[in-house]
Amino acid sequence: MKNQEIADIFYNMADILEILNVNWKPQAYRKAARSIESMNENIETIYEKKGLKGIDEIPGVGKSIAKKTEEYLKTGKIKEYENLKKKIPKGLDELMDVMGLGPKKVKKLFEELKIKNIKELKTALKKHKIESLEGFGKKSEENIEKSLELIKQRKKRLLLGEVYPIVKELIEYLKEKKETKKVEVAGSFRRMEETIGDIDILAVSNNGKKTIQDFIKFPEVKRVLAKGNTKGVVLLKNNLQCDLRVVKENQFGSALQYFTGNKPHNIELRKIAIKKGYKLNEYGLFKNKKRVAGNTEKEIYKKLGFQYIPPEIRINEDELKKKIPRLIDYNDIKGDLHVHTRDSDGLNTIMEMALAAKKLNYNYLGITNHSKTRKISSGLEEKDLIKKIKEIKNTKVKGLKLLSGSEVDILKNGELDYSDKILKKLDIVIAAIHSGFKTDKKKMVDRILKALENENVKIFAHPFGRLINKREPYNLDFEKICKFCAKNEKYIEINAQPERLDLDYKNIKIALKHNVKFIINTDAHKKENLEFMRFGVAQAMKAWCRKKDIINTLPLKEFMKKMK
């Protein structure tokens, strides 16, 4: 549907016309934009059925704007808009992105101070040239500065795992307040994306003003950017922006659906709603002005003909097109098989890790420290590994089976870092690449396959070696590896460390096509890290993995068969 595209163009035209001192027209464009944006019907359908006359009949749309709409529908362009864009300096549109700078103020800055872009705006701020302008002042200088800093920070995204503990804390903090009736995180956090741009929180409250006040007093808040009766915006100490919106109880479901996104999913769902004669927005699902759903997300999806769609998979891939099977769930995981202790580069003892695993209701835990070549990670010499196997056997925690293992380096020539004689003694052998990342594609795949051919090796760890925002994945003929693993009953790890998430969901999808089975591991280096499991499960969900695709959902006995 092109309604929004067209509305956006008319909004932009209004802004430009205003900057160019044209009277009346800006208001007319905005009125038309609002009308087109909020209507239920698809503007293309109207045009197909009734032609130009149909568009002319849209409230707020006059003859001349109707013609331009027709031009856009026919050619994908509006000539006048292209010409208008040329009449203003290039950076002005980015200036309108600065909070508190609408077209009027941008125009003023341009006319009086010749400011055309953010760079020139910064220079003017430094010289305090703006506060003396009519309609500005000291306060607006401060606001502009705040907004500029935000724009800078907006470009920085934090890892889901970095944000997770703070958000959990904030939610607990708000839940404890007695005026709070409901509170939930939305946005990319709820979808469990790899990185988070900002945090979006929704609440229902008996006293919105009080809730916002509590919110801005949360100890992790660095600065308050805005506060009102229903909305608060803060910058957290980790430099992430966090918004809290207080909504009406019967709109909670629709607001949660809207602010969970992602945006393409929402756009697609809205289109479907329109096709079925509804209108969907953050206030509810409507049929002819009558609200028919909105209290819960579930009833919205149901009315539109869908089962409940978990937030993790709302990414506009297949979730609105195909029937969704029962996906892997956070509670399905029975054990973690890639865990370090202080015997190599971890922080905790075997017993401490075991007790932490027991707390998570796991049935088994694999202790897999580094192998001898990994000197910087204190990899174990053979004789030390043998001692550890004994210690692991002797560590008893009721209901939890400890497995002895190793994360063995794949050396540059594809050989493994321990002899077969040693590997045979282990329950779990994970092969991993920690060096020679620059090996070319062909050699890399040979090197990996040579290692995986070893009958003792069952798991291939963090296949791409990527570190999010730090190290690119290495060049890999992944499909070849997938084929090999599927055929030879080797399992590919979904490493759940927040900075790895390796495989990511896109590669999990590729591997699934080849019938690969996976194991989700945390690669924990201290006991708290065992909680990373959820980040790996979320990636698996996004790829539509089912329980049977993930082998560490199996009961101990069956799992052990896979390791033989």
* Interface positions with Ca ion (CB under 5 A): 187-188, 198, 200
Nearer to Ca ion, 190 or 466 (CB): 190
Q: By CB under 6 A, what part of segment 533-562 binds ligand DGT?
A: none
How would you classify the pairing of strands 241-246 and 198-205?
parallel
Measured over the CA atoms of residue 76, residue 79, residue 85 and residue 86, the dihedral's sign is: positive
Burial of 360 per CB tally in 10 Å (0-12, 13-18, 19+) = middle
The partner in contact with residue 263, picked from ligand DGT, Ca ion, none with C-beta cut-offs of 5 to 8 angstroms by kind, is ligand DGT
The site partner of 259 among Ca ion, ligand DGT, none (C-beta below 5 to 8 Å per kind) is ligand DGT
Pick between residue 198 and residue 336 the one whose CB is nearest to Ca ion. 198
CB of 389 to Ca ion, least distance (A): 47
User: What is the length of the chain?
Assistant: 564
Q: Are 113 and 144 in contact (CB under 8 A)?
A: no
Binding partner at 523 among ligand DGT, Ca ion, none, C-beta below 5 to 8 Å by kind? none
Site for ligand DGT contains 328 (CB under 6 A):
no
Distance CA 228, CA 183 (A): 18
Among 265, 303, 268, residue whose Cα is nearest residue 286: 303
d(C-alpha 142, C-alpha 140), whole Å? 5
User: What stretch of H or E contains 521?
Assistant: strand 518-521
Within 240-299, the residues that bind ligand DGT by CB under 6 A are 258-259, 261-263, 266-267
Tell the smallest beta-carbon distance from residue 269 to ligand DGT (Å). Answer: 8
Q: Is 198 in the site for ligand DGT (CB under 6 A)?
A: yes
Q: Which does 418 bind (CB under 5 to 8 A by kind): ligand DGT, Ca ion, none?
A: none
Spatial strand order of the sheet with 221-227 comes to: 180-185, 198-205, 241-246, 231-236, 221-227
Q: How far is the CB of 187 from Ca ion (least distance, A)?
A: 3
Cis peptide before 304 (omega within 30 of 0): no
Least distance (Å) between residue 34 CB and ligand DGT? 14
Helices (H), 361-459: 382-394, 420-423, 441-453
Q: Of the listed pieces 194-202, 384-392, 462-470, 504-512, which binds ligand DGT according to CB under 6 A?
A: 194-202
**Strand bridging mode 195-196 / 364-370:** unpaired
For the record, the structure tokens of 306 come out as: 């869908």
Question: Which partner from the list Ca ion, ligand DGT, none does 261 bind, CB cut-off 5 to 8 Å by kind?
Answer: ligand DGT
Shortest Å distance, C-beta 149 to ligand DGT: 17
- Residue whose beta carbon is closest to ligand DGT: 261
DSSP class of residue 467 equals B
Query: Among 517, 543, 520, 547, which residue's Cα sits nearest to residue 531?
Result: 520
- Any contact of residue 188 with ligand DGT (CB under 6 A)? yes
The nearest distance, CB 201 to Ca ion, in angstroms, is: 10
CB of 38 to ligand DGT, least distance (A): 13
Q: Which is nearer to ligand DGT, 15 or 194 (CB)?
A: 194
Q: Which does 143 bind (CB under 5 to 8 A by kind): Ca ion, ligand DGT, none?
A: none
Question: In the set 15, 141, 194, 200, which binds ligand DGT (CB under 6 A)?
Answer: 200
Tell whether residue 196 is a contact of ligand DGT (CB under 6 A): yes
Closest approach, Cβ 541 to ligand DGT, in A, equals 17
Tokens representing 349 are 């003892």
CB of 163 to ligand DGT, least distance (A): 9
Q: Which does 267 bind (CB under 5 to 8 A by kind): ligand DGT, Ca ion, none?
A: ligand DGT
H-helix segments, 276-402 = 297-303, 350-359, 382-394
Cβ atoms of 517 and 546 closer than 8 Å: no
187 binds ligand DGT (CB under 6 A): yes
- For Ca ion, the closer of residues 15 and 198 by Cβ is 198
CA–CA gap between residue 411 and residue 201 (Å, rounded):
47
The two structure tokens encoding residue 114? 């010749």
* Alpha carbon distance 492, 519 (integer Å): 6
Q: Is 508 in the site for ligand DGT (CB under 6 A)?
A: no
Of the pair 196, 274, the CB lying nearest ligand DGT is at 196
Residue 10 or 484 with smaller CB distance to ligand DGT: 10
Site size with ligand DGT, rule: CB under 6 A: 13
Burial class (CB in 10 A: 0-12, 13-18, 19+), 393: exposed
Number of H helices, E strands in the chain: 23, 17
Please report how close the Cβ of residue 190 comes to ligand DGT at its closest, in angstroms.
8
- By the criterion CB under 6 A, which residues form the site for ligand DGT? 187-188, 196-198, 200, 258-259, 261-263, 266-267
